[in-house]
Structure 1
Amino acid sequence: MNDKANLPGDTPRYPIREVSRLTGVNSVTLRAWERRYGLLRPHRTPKGHRLYAREDIERVEHILQWLHRGVPVSQVRELLEQPDAPASHRPGADDWTSQHQQLIAAVEALDTARLDALFNQSLALYPADVCVEKLWQPVIHNLEERWDERLGATLQRRTLEAFLRTRIGTRLYHANSRAEKAHVLVAPLPEADSPLTGLLAALLISEQGHRVQWLDAPLPFQELNLAEERLGVDALLLASSKAEKPDLIRRQLPRLADQLGVPLALCGPVARIRASDLADSRVVILGDDLPVAASRLNDLLANTPHNETGMHLNE
């Protein structure tokens, strides 16, 4: 099938893979919006293939606008059909609260089957950046506060980490085979005591069409130069939920950024805490908000030749 098919009247129609490319919403999610919530009504060919009009693509963009404002997908149809409804009458985010509670309960109960169902459901109904912004990032922050010196906290943390390693690792494996953009290496910094920040960042970057190589443990700094050369990466992204040691931030990272031929970027709490320490360096500060950080990295890779480094995105 051609990327764009024409029906009688020369009305342009687009196959689902093209709509996914244009909107950034994967095909599984587009189908779920259609089947479960009636948000889309694509034309069907005699063989059953979906074809979308330009109006459908615009509708997807409107759906994304509501999702990014925190409206659950189950409440979007009403807003699309009544776009002039007063803001005070618009549905709240109670569904997100419910999802938070369910996810936290599954982690605390060590219920990996329930975790699996919630993980698959969230990524089927929402784009990855919405999932991370509205669900996974706030839930992990909530859990980290609960885990502070609580009996059983380490077991809960390691169970969640192992679960996300497997699920996100599987998604990266399949996505890398069809990735057409840059090759990004994601690794934790030495003081990072959890892979969660890097894992979520890797998921978001992969969903943008980049090939992602994710490392579970820190590399010696002298081997990051080797990784650029041997792996042929277009960018290195380092993540940490800790402030990291002053010498690493003020001397080792800037020196590494000067030596590399590709951008060296930083995300997670360390990027927020240490932004001022790196203001005069060539390290790219992406910030603590992971969807925003992934979007900034995507823009950097799209607009900057691979031999140019030193862009700062912390403004």
Structure 2
Amino acid sequence: MSTKATHPPDTPLYPIREVSRLTGVNSVTLRAWERRYGLIRPKRTPKGHRLYAQDDIARIERILQWLNRGVPVSQVVDLLDQPETVETPVPDAGDWVSQRQQLQVTIEILDLPKLEALYHQNLALYPLSVVVNELWQPVILALETKWTIQPDNLVRRTLEAFLRSQVGTRLHYANQSTRGPLILLNTMPDDPGPLWMLMAALMASEQGYRVQMLDHSLPLEDLPQAVARLHSSMVLLTSGQRESDHFIHTELPNAAEALNVPLGVCGAVARLRDSELRGGPVHTLGDDLPQAIARLRPLLRESGVL
């Protein structure tokens, strides 16, 4: 396959940062798709900077469509130039399944160098929403299910420390480069750790929000002061647990009423308590984290933040 761009000379061209903004695919992933798989072939300036035409952007959108259908990135190149009506191939069922198994084993044996390599490798090859949906979310759910029967605090805390470091570094630089609304993220009282909060922070940052995480569950009565002092546009609480009836029925709605910004919940608690919270002042965003973060924008528009 030729790697030379064939765009007409008068075609409008976009730098990689703009293409990343338009498509939601970060620049590291775009470069990996080009180098490893030849999925896209941007034009280059004399200094080597990548420039993308509109047909490149359309091609990226088709790549995302295939990935979201479960097709491994290694198989997408053979599908891109086929007619749009081509039947979606049956995904390689062992691809994501084997990657989940590999990731879970790597976490459980505490192989941190390999864990770091897997983390960065998948974020380079796939959009973040795909990585969270297909890999991290299922693995964290599997681990937490296992830990309810056979607790392993060493593995849990090690994984939390690893993700806190990786996500924290990403947030540090992302918060400096975006002017988006600030989301205040915190865990709920019964959640034994910040795994869901860390994943939500990763997704929110990718969608252009500034994110402030709190390491420990903040008392609900302190949220108004936290919002005011941090200039937060929204509070998002996460939990992989059901949380207590009193917290859900009384404390949480009262906290939402006391705030002048939206209060949302995501993670397993949003699914388990949806019927009880629906229609009240607390916004349930679901346990699918990419979808939950996608729901923030219309919510912030309704509240007048955007």
Q: TM-score by structure 1 length? A: 0.90
Structure 2: runs of 5+ lacking an equivalent: 1-6
Higher mean C-alpha deviation, range 196-205 or range 246-255: 246-255
Counterpart residue type for residue 294 of structure 2: S
Q: RMSD value over aligned CA atoms?
A: 1.7
Q: Is the 8 A contact 1:129 1:204 kept in 2?
A: yes
Aligned equivalent of 1:22: 22
Counterpart residue type for residue 188 of structure 1: T
Instruction: Give the share of equivalent positions with the same residue, in percent.
Output: 56
Counterpart residue type for residue 230 of structure 2: L
Aligned equivalent of 1:284: 283
Residue 5 (structure 2) pairs with residue 33 (structure 1): no
Higher mean C-alpha deviation, range 252-261 or range 78-87: 78-87
- 1:1-315 aligned within 5 A: 9-83=9-83, 84-87=85-88, 89-150=89-150, 153-302=152-301, 304-306=303-305
Q: Is the 8 A contact 1:79 1:90 kept in 2?
A: no
> How many angstroms does 1:246 deviate by?
1.1
Provide the C-alpha distance between the structure 2 equivalents of 1:157 and 1:86, rounded to a whole number of angstroms. Answer: 42
Report SS of the residue matched to 1:10. Answer: coil
Structure 1: runs of 5+ lacking an equivalent: 1-6, 308-315
CA change 1:91–1:287 in 2 (3 A) is: closer
Q: Is the 8 A contact 1:186 1:214 kept in 2?
A: yes
Q: Give the length in aligned residue pairs.
A: 299
Q: Is the 8 A contact 1:75 1:91 kept in 2?
A: no
Report SS of the residue matched to 1:252. Answer: helix
Q: Is the 8 A contact 2:70 2:91 kept in 1?
A: no
CA change 1:214–1:172 in 2 (3 A) is: same
Provide the C-alpha distance between the structure 2 equivalents of 1:68 and 1:79, rounded to a whole number of angstroms. Answer: 14
Provide the C-alpha distance between the structure 1 equivalents of 2:105 and 2:294, rounded to a whole number of angstroms. Answer: 30
Higher mean C-alpha deviation, range 27-36 or range 296-305: 296-305
Provide the C-alpha distance between the structure 1 equivalents of 2:279 and 2:303, rounded to a whole number of angstroms. Answer: 19
State the Cα deviation string for residues 207-236 of structure 1 (Å, max 9, x = none). 011100011211011110101111000000
Provide the C-alpha distance between the structure 1 equivalents of 2:116 and 2:277, rounded to a whole number of angstroms. Answer: 39
> How many angstroms does 1:93 deviate by?
3.5
Q: Is the 8 A contact 1:234 1:306 kept in 2?
A: yes
> How many angstroms does 1:8 deviate by?
6.9
